[in-house]
Amino acid sequence: MKAALAVAQVGFGLLAILGILLQTPKATGLGGTIGGGGDMGGGYRRRRGLEAGLLRFSAAMIVLFVVTSVLSTYVSK
């Protein structure tokens, strides 16, 4: 049981990282990555299509990662 949870935790973690890295950033360049970007377009940009799917996928993988982490702590006791 411990080994299965460990494998699942690694898998969910890697899939979450992949989903996050595939998402389109809101701002471009290093300034957008670190400091918020320089364009003053403002406003909320709604995610549609593939972006929305990637966001939901990433969120689901993060939730599953947290659940498996909590379960693995209870199983190891």
Mean pLDDT, the chain, integer: 84
Cα dihedral across residues 32, 35, 41, 46: positive or negative: positive
Residues 23 and 75: beta-carbon distance below 8 Å: no
The predicted-structure confidence for 65-76, as pLDDT tens digits, reads as follows 999 999 999 998
Q: Is 80 exceeded by the pLDDT of residue 56?
A: yes
H helix intervals, the chain: 2-22, 29-34, 50-76
